[in-house]
Structures are given as C-alpha cells and as structure tokens.
Amino acid sequence: MKLEGKNPIRERIASGKPFDKIYVQDKISDSEIRNWVQIAKQNHTKIEWVDSKTLDKLSETGHHQGIIAECTDFEYSDLDEISSREGDLLLVLLDGLQDPHNLGSVIRVAECVGANAVVIPARHSVVVNETVIRVSAGATAHVPVCKVGNLNSAIEKLKEKNIWVYAADMDGQSMYKTDLTGRTAIVIGAEGAGVSRLTKETCDGVVSIPMRGKVNSLNASVSAGILLYESLRQRSK
C-alpha cells in the first residue's frame, strides 16, 4: 500500500507504525519531511531520493507533495474485541458505501468525535485504500476500522452486548429526541440507496436528521458527521 502526501504519513509516524520504503523528492526543502527522513533512517527504513517526474509516475492520487511511502496493507481491527469493552462506546457502521471519498470522510469525522470504530462489510463495500487514507487526512492511523462478513449478523452481536443500534433514515425519530449516549452504534446507508430494509429491521430503531429544505437527503459522510456530533453533544452534557 502507498501513502501519499504529508497528512497520511505524518499520522502514521505519530501512530508508531512502520514503513517499508519511502520515496522523497530530491533537494526538497520542506523541513518537516526532512525530519521524517531522519526518523525513518533511525528505524532502518529504506529511503530513496528521486526526481519529481519519478514521484509523479509512482503517484496514484496526484497529491504526493514530494513524498510517497510504501507500507504493508491496511490492518483491520477486531470488532468483537472492541465491542466487548466495558463502558460507553460509539460505533459507526456503514451499509455498503461505494465511494472511497465518503469512507475517508466518515473515518476522519469518527476520529474527530472520538468514535471507537468504523465498521464496513467485507462484500459490496469500498475498502480502505490509498484514496481513503488520503481523504481521511491520516485518521486511519488512529481510529480502528473493522471488516465484518455480514453486517446484519454483526448488528445482532452488538445488540447482545447491550449496544443500541440505530439506522439513519429520514423516516426515523429525530436525533434530538433519540438517546445517542452510552453504548451506541449508528448505521449509515449507501449512497443513494440508504440503509437496506433488512438492516433497518435488524436495528433497535431508526434515527433521522431534521430537514427544512426542499432536498430531502444528505451525502453519507455529511449524515455521519451530523449524527456523530449530535452524539458527542449529548455525551458532553
């Protein structure tokens, strides 16, 4: 897996996770990047100085900012371990998101509110890739992302652990009237399709975002941000 640009690499360094190899633009004057090179050398990471054209060819996003790192593929976390923890929890479950930009944005806001994990299904869903990591601004290095075989089965297991699971949908109860504190999981649906019927029926309830405009839907990552920050507001009382 490649990490491109300063944010993803900065956050991976902060997390203490290793790199396999780092490509750096020769004669780069950025002091922060040069400091990272020294840290990487101390950790016995291979450094290769290359020209900007070579970095452009290596780049898959077009936003390398003079540095590209190679590391092992993304490591997913264990949802069972996370959901078995005592005390309050806040989880974000994604029902078949396809757009890596949406996934990256959800992971970023989940990290900002202190959510315990983001959960994606193994099939019919975007996975964590270079684009997701870049859009998350490096948040993938800090918030666990779990991949599950079947989302509905995962929801049933969460409920057994006294975690209240709410599907986000316009026909639900207002988020201002829904208790999003304690042990809570929020399910965000796919772009366009929303949360599937069976998944909604599996959840404990349905929560909605009040709307007063003429457009009656929001982008998946925007919906996640609004609901997660409402949960944070309630938890901050």
Domain CATH number, residue 199: 3.40.1280.10
d(CA 30, CA 65): 10
Q: Using pLDDT thresholds of 50, 70 and 90, give the confidence band for residue 223.
A: very high
What's the token pair of residue 217?
A: 């839907």
The proportion of the chain whose per-residue pLDDT surpasses 90, expressed as a percent, equals: 65
Residues 110 and 178 in one domain: yes
Tens of pLDDT, residue by residue over 122-157, are 888 998 988 898 899 889 989 999 999 999 999 999
Half-sphere exposure of 149 (CA within 13 A, CB side): 3
Residues 35 and 135 in one domain: no
Residues 88 and 201 in one domain: yes
Inform me whether the pLDDT recorded for 31 exceeds 80.
yes
Residues 127 and 231 in one domain: yes
Range of the domain at 27: 2-70
Residues 39 and 99 in one domain: no
Residues 97 and 213 in one domain: yes
Residues 189 and 108 in one domain: yes
pTM score above 0.85 = no
Structural domain tally of the chain?
A: 2
Tens of pLDDT, residue by residue over 54-113, are 999 998 888 899 999 988 778 899 999 999 999 999 999 999 899 999 999 999 999 999
Domain CATH number, residue 41: 3.30.1330.30
Task: Please list, in sequence order, all residues whose beta carbon lies within 8 angstroms of the beta carbon of residue 195, skipping any fewer than 6 positions away.
Answer: 95, 167, 168, 169, 187, 188, 189, 203
* Residue 67, helix vs strand vs coil: strand
- Which residue, 5, 9, 34, is CA-closest to 20? 9
